Structure 1
Amino acid sequence: MITEVKMPKFGLSMEEGTIGTWLIEEGSVVNKGDEILEVETDKITNTVEAPESGVLRKIFFEEGDIANCGELICIIAEANEDISGFDLIDKTDSEKEADILNLENTTKAKCLNIEKRITPRAKKIAEEKGINYSNIEGTGIHGAITIDDLKNFMNSNSVEEVMKVNKNKVVEKEVRQEVTPISHVNNIKVNIGENDLVTKMTPMQNVIAKKMHESLLTTAQTTIATELEITSLSKIYKGLKEKYKKVGVKLSYTALIIKAVAEALENHPKLRTQIVDENHFKISNEINIGVAVDIPNGLVVPIIKNANLKDLKTICIELSDLSERAKNNKLNSDEMSNGTITITNLGMFGITYFTPVLNTPESAILGIGSIIEKVLVKDGAFYAGLIMNMSLTHDHRVVDGAPGARFLQEVTQNLLDFRWM
C-alpha cells in the first residue's frame, strides 16, 4: 500500500513549514508511529510520524526546504511497489527495476542488521552528546536502541568509551548544527581563519534574523525608560508567592507585570495599534500579551490571550504551562500568534536596562530589568530600597512619545496598586 505523507497543518494559521531534520533516511524501514522528520514553523518545531509501516521510498524535500501545508513531502510503501507515478522525472523500465532491486536489497540488509536500529530520539541525543552507539545492544522494539539503553551504557562505561569525537558537529545549548565547508558559503563578508567553524543557520535562527532585520528596517523605533521602586511590592509579592505555592501555583514578577500591562492597555488603545498599510492602521479589540521565552538556539513568544479578562492566578498557571511547553517544542502556531504587545524579561541575567526590538506587527514591547537594591532618598532622608528598570520600545509612526510615556506610567501605577492581587 502506498502512503502519501503530506505537510501537516499544526495550527489554524499555519500555511507552510520548513523541513528541519529527516530522522529516517530514504530507503529505511519504518513502523507506524515512528518519527520520520522534524518540521519547523515560525520558531517552533514539531515531529511528523509515519502514518503506516513500510519503507520510506521517496523524499521530495531536502532539509531547509519549505513546503506548503497539504503538499506531498514523502512516500511510504512496500519495497516492490511501483511509485513511478510520483517521480518528478520519468525513468526507463530498466531504471525502475534497478531501483526496486536496490530497495529490496537495502531492506534485506537493514533487516539483517536490525539489532543496530536506534530510535530517532535516542539517535539525536547520542549525536548531540557525542556517544558512540555502534556497540550498544538495544532493548526496544525489534532490538532498537532506546534512551534507557544509552543511559545504561553511559553508567557502565568510562567517559573515553562513551564519547566519540565528531568534528562535523557543533553542539551549543544542546542544539546540533552542521559545520559547513567554506567552499559551500556564498557571498563571504568576513575573514574566515583556518581554525574558525562556519555553521549553517537553523531554520529558527533564519526566521529570527530576518524578522529582527525587517523590524528595524520597516518601523520607527524609539525607547523610553523608567525606574520603579518596588520595595513595598516586593514584600507583598513574597507573601503572595508562599500563598500561591501552597495550592501548586508558581507566582513570578513576570506574571504581575502581565496583569499590570493588560489592565493599562484597556485605557491606551494606541498601544494596541498595528499598521495595515501606508495609510491605515487598526486598533485591536483583544489584549493578548506575548512573553519572550529563551529556548536552545533561539527564542519564542507564546501568547496569553485576553489577559485583561483573567485574574492573576490564571495568568500564573497559563504562563507556567506555556513556558514549559515552549522549552519542549510543544507549542502550536496559534499559541504564538495575534499578540498585542510583548514582554521580555532579562532581569534573571542581571541586566538592568536594554532596548528590546519590536516584535512586528506589534507596535510596542516592554523590557524588564533586574531588581536591585539601591540607596534612595525620600523627604531628605536616605534609606535602602528595591528598584526595577522598565524600557518601552514603541513604533513612533503610531505611538508618539507622550502616549507611550502615559502608558508606561500607568503600568508602574498598577504595579503599586495591589487591588488585583
Structure 2
Amino acid sequence: MIVEFKLPELGENIETADISKVAVKKGDTIKVDQTIVEIETDKATVEVPSDQEGVVSEVLVKDGDNVKVGAVLIKIETSGGEHKEKKEENKETDKDKTPEPEKEEKPEPKKEEKTETVREKSAKTSTAKSGTYEFKLPELGEGIETADVTKVLVKKGDSVNVDDSVIEIETDKATVEVPIDTAGIIKDVKIKDGEKAKVGETIIILETTSETTTTNEDESAEVKHVEETTEEKTEPAAASEVKQSEIISPQKEKIISQFRSAMPEKIAPASPSVRRFAREIGIDIHEVSGSGPGGRISVEDVKKFAKTLNEKISSQSGGGIGIKQEALPDFSKWGSIRREPMNNIRRKTAEHLSYAWATVPHVTQFDKADITELEKARKAFSKTVEKAGGKLTVTAILVKVIASALKAFPNFNTSIDLQNNEIIYKDYYNVGIAVDTDRGLIVPVIKDADKKNITKLAVELSEISEKARNKKTTIEEMQGGNFSISNLGGIGGTGFSPIVNTPEVAILGVSRASYQPVYMDGEFVPRLIMPLSLSYDHRIIDGADGARFLRWVCSALEQPLLLALEG
C-alpha cells in the first residue's frame, strides 16, 4: 500500500517552509519518528519525523524547495495492499448503486401573482391621479436596505419631469443619482444632505400634473389587457418572467442597473455578521473564497484573505508598510555581482522589523552601569554555575534583573490592542534573548524568568543559545515573550538603538563594558562601565518612566542586594 507523507501543520500562521535538507532517498527503509526532512520556516528550523514505517518509493522534494503545508513530500510503501483493493471494490459497488435521477416537475405558472402585481401598480398610479404623489426611495439591489443621501438636487416649488434626478445617494456598493418616475411640482422634501434613508421611505411629496393622469389611464388599459389574457390561457414560465420585468418602471430599473454594474454578478454566500465583519476591516466579501459547504464564507475565511492581502502588499513594498520602493540601479555596471535568495528567517525578520519601525513610535534612552563589583561576583561564582551545566554571563544576570524590573514597572510588561483601544497587562514574565546565527537573528524565550534563580537561568540560556545555533529551536520556544534583550557586548560597540520587538513594548540593548576613570572619594579610579540602551513604545511608556526603568536596572546591577530587597 502506498502512503503519501505530507508536510504537517507547523504552527499558527505558518503556511510554507523551505526544505533545507532531505534526509531520505528512494529505496530507504524508514521507521516511525525517523527524520524525513529538515525544514526552515520564518519561525525556526525543525526536523520533520515520519508517522509511518516502510520503504520510500518516491521523493517529491529536494533541498532548497519551498513547499506548502499539506504538500506531499514522499511516498512510502507500507503493508496493507489488500485493504486498498477492497476499498476500491467497495467504491465500484457504490457506483453501481447510484440512484436514478428523479424526474423534474415543471412548476405551474402563477396566474394570480402576476395579476396581483399589476393591480398593485394600477392602485399606485391611481394615487397620482388624486394630485399628490409620494416618491419613495426605490429598491436598490439585493442586500441593500439603506443609503446615505449625499445631495438633494431639488427644492420645494421646483418643477420636475419624468427621469429628472432628485437626489444623489451612496451605499456601500456605489454612488448614483435617483431619477423620479412622475412629473409634477415639488410640494415637500422630507430629507436633507447627509441623512440616511431606508428603502421604501418617502423622500419627496409631489403635486402631479395632467400629463401624469394620461399616463396612468394608458397603464390602466394595459392592466385590463393583461388580466384578460391571464384568464384566457396559461402562458409558459418564460413569458411570465418577461411580463414581470415589464411591470418594473423604467426609472427603478435604471437605478438598479447602476447598482448591478457596481456589484459582482454573483451574491457572496455569507451571513450578515460575516458581511459586516468584512466591511469593518475593508474587505470586499465578493473577493473571498469560502471554505464551507457550497462555498459559504466564514469569518476565518475573511481573516485568511485579509492576511494574504496584507502579505502581498508587504512583499510588494519590500516590507516597508506601503512605502514605494525605488528601483535599484544596475550594479553589474561597476563590477561583478551575485544574487542569493533571502532565507525565510531573514525575510521574516526584514518584514517584522520594518513593520515595527514604521508602526511603533520609538524612543531610545541611554545610561551606564558600574558593574565593577558585579564582575568580581560573577567570576567568583562562575565555577558553581559551570558545575550545574551553565555559564554565568552578564546576560543571564540581566534576565533576572529584567524580570524584577517588569514587576516594578507593569507598563513595560504590556501590549497595545488598538482594535479594541485597550492595554493588555500580563501577569507572567517571559524574557526573549536575541541570538545571532548564520541564518539571521532569532529570539528564543525564557519562560517564567521571575520564578527561576540565576543559576537555572544561566543553564537555560546556554541551552537555548546552543539550540538556536544548531537549528534546533522549536516554534514554541520562540513565542510568548514580554521583553527582549539584545547583548552585543561580546562583539563590540559603545552603544546602539535596538528596535522594539512588537507586540512587546520595550527592548534592552547591551554594549561592551570597558574600564573608565571615575571620580570617587577625591580621586579618579578605574571602574568597569557597561553602556545600556532602552528602546520603548512611546504610546504606552512616557520618557520619565523610561528613564526610571533604565536607572532601576543600572542600580540593580551596581547593587545586587537591591534584587533581594525588591525583586
CA distance in structure 2 between the partners assigned to 1:66 and 1:219 by the alignment: 33
Query: Aligned letter for 1:32?
Result: I
SS of the aligned residue for 1:265 comes to helix
SS of the aligned residue for 1:359 comes to coil
2:374 counterpart (233, 238, 242): 233
Percent identity between the two aligned chains: 33
Query: Aligned letter for 2:29?
Result: N
Change (3 A) 1:22 1:3: farther
SS of the aligned residue for 1:392 comes to strand
Aligned to 1:54: 55
CA distance in structure 1 between the partners assigned to 2:61 and 2:423 by the alignment: 41
Query: Aligned letter for 2:465?
Result: S
What's the CA shift for 1:62? 9.4
Map residues 362-401 of structure 1 onto 2, 5 A cutoff.
362-401=504-543
SS of the aligned residue for 1:391 comes to strand
Conservation of the 8 A alpha-carbon contact between 1:7 and 1:17: no
Conservation of the 8 A alpha-carbon contact between 2:19 and 2:64: yes
Change (3 A) 1:277 1:66: farther
Deviations 1:56-88 (A, max 9, x none): 5363899564534xx243341459x99xxxxxx
SS of the aligned residue for 1:370 comes to coil
SS of the aligned residue for 1:266 comes to helix
Query: Aligned letter for 1:363?
Result: V
Map residues 100-115 of structure 1 onto 2, 5 A cutoff.
none
What's the CA shift for 1:14? 6.8
What's the CA shift for 1:190? 3.5
What's the CA shift for 1:411? 1.1
SS of the aligned residue for 2:507 comes to strand
Deviations 1:151-195 (A, max 9, x none): xxxxxxxxxxxxxxxxxxxxxxxxxxxxxxxxxxx9962423252
1:259 corresponds to 2:400: yes
CA distance in structure 1 between the partners assigned to 2:74 and 2:19 by the alignment: 17
Aligned to 2:7: 7
1:202 counterpart (339, 343, 359): 343
Greater relative CO (CA pairs within 8 A, separation 6+): 1
CA distance in structure 2 between the partners assigned to 1:365 and 1:247 by the alignment: 29
Change (3 A) 1:78 1:6: closer
CA distance in structure 1 between the partners assigned to 2:464 and 2:59 by the alignment: 36
SS of the aligned residue for 2:497 comes to coil
CA distance in structure 2 between the partners assigned to 1:14 and 1:321 by the alignment: 27
1:192 counterpart (314, 331, 339): 331
CA distance in structure 1 between the partners assigned to 2:13 and 2:396 by the alignment: 28
Conservation of the 8 A alpha-carbon contact between 2:16 and 2:41: yes
SS of the aligned residue for 2:427 comes to coil
Conservation of the 8 A alpha-carbon contact between 1:300 and 1:326: yes
Which of 1 and 2 has greater Rg? 2
Change (3 A) 1:195 1:241: same
Deviations 1:331-381 (A, max 9, x none): 211111010000010000122211111111111010001110111112442
What's the CA shift for 1:3? 1.7
CA distance in structure 1 between the partners assigned to 2:351 and 2:423 by the alignment: 23
Query: Aligned letter for 1:31?
Result: T
Aligned to 1:170: none
CA distance in structure 1 between the partners assigned to 2:65 and 2:483 by the alignment: 30
1:220 corresponds to 2:339: no
1:19 corresponds to 2:161: no
In structure 1, runs of 5+ residues without a counterpart are 83-185
Change (3 A) 1:325 1:191: same
What's the CA shift for 1:257? 0.7
What's the CA shift for 1:406? 1.2
Query: Aligned letter for 1:259?
Result: K
Deviations 1:129-165 (A, max 9, x none): xxxxxxxxxxxxxxxxxxxxxxxxxxxxxxxxxxxxx
Conservation of the 8 A alpha-carbon contact between 2:20 and 2:40: no
Q: TM-score under structure 1 normalisation?
A: 0.68
1:411 corresponds to 2:553: yes
CA distance in structure 2 between the partners assigned to 1:65 and 1:49 by the alignment: 18
CA distance in structure 2 between the partners assigned to 1:273 and 1:311 by the alignment: 23
CA distance in structure 2 between the partners assigned to 1:413 and 1:256 by the alignment: 13
Aligned to 1:272: 413
Change (3 A) 1:66 1:404: farther
CA distance in structure 2 between the partners assigned to 1:248 and 1:49 by the alignment: 29
Aligned to 1:330: 472
Aligned to 2:29: 31
Change (3 A) 1:353 1:53: same
Change (3 A) 1:192 1:253: same
Conservation of the 8 A alpha-carbon contact between 1:365 and 1:392: yes
> What do you get for the CA RMSD once the two structures are aligned?
2.9
CA distance in structure 2 between the partners assigned to 1:307 and 1:230 by the alignment: 22
| Runs of at least 4 residues off by over 6 Å | none
Query: Aligned letter for 1:271?
Result: F
CA distance in structure 1 between the partners assigned to 2:363 and 2:72 by the alignment: 44
What's the CA shift for 1:196? 0.7
Conservation of the 8 A alpha-carbon contact between 2:22 and 2:62: no
Conservation of the 8 A alpha-carbon contact between 2:374 and 2:558: yes
CA distance in structure 1 between the partners assigned to 2:46 and 2:430 by the alignment: 24
Change (3 A) 1:353 1:78: same
Aligned length: 314
Conservation of the 8 A alpha-carbon contact between 2:21 and 2:62: no
CA distance in structure 2 between the partners assigned to 1:31 and 1:399 by the alignment: 58
CA distance in structure 2 between the partners assigned to 1:406 and 1:200 by the alignment: 44
What's the CA shift for 1:252? 0.7
CA distance in structure 2 between the partners assigned to 1:359 and 1:244 by the alignment: 30
Query: Aligned letter for 1:232?
Result: E
Which 10-residue stretch deviates more, 29-38 or 251-260?
A: 29-38
Conservation of the 8 A alpha-carbon contact between 2:19 and 2:62: no
CA distance in structure 2 between the partners assigned to 1:395 and 1:30 by the alignment: 53
Conservation of the 8 A alpha-carbon contact between 1:4 and 1:72: no
CA distance in structure 1 between the partners assigned to 2:63 and 2:418 by the alignment: 36
